[in-house]
Amino acid sequence: MAVRIEETDLGTKQATKDKIKEIQNEKYQKFTWLSWRYWYKVYQYALQECPVGTPASTGKRGYIGGSLRASIRIARGEPGSRIFQMGPFGVSVSGKDEYSWTYHIQAGGGGVINPNYGREVDYAKAVHDGWVNKQGIFHPGNPFLTRALMRAEVEFKQMTDAMMNWVEKKWSEGALNTIPPRGYYVSTRLQVP
CA distance 92 to 89: 10
Is the torsion defined by CA of 40, 53, 110, 97 positive or negative?
Answer: negative
Tens of pLDDT, residues 134-157: 999 999 999 999 999 999 989 888
Contacts for 4 with CB less than 8 Å, ≥ 6 apart: 190, 191
Q: If we measure between CA atoms, which residue out of 39, 152, 150 comes closest to residue 99?
A: 39
Per DSSP, 120 falls in state E
| Residue 65: pLDDT over 60 | yes
Residue-wise pLDDT for 75-108, tens only, equals: 876 544 444 445 555 667 765 555 445 678 889 9
Alpha-carbon gap, residue 63 to 55, rounded angstroms: 5
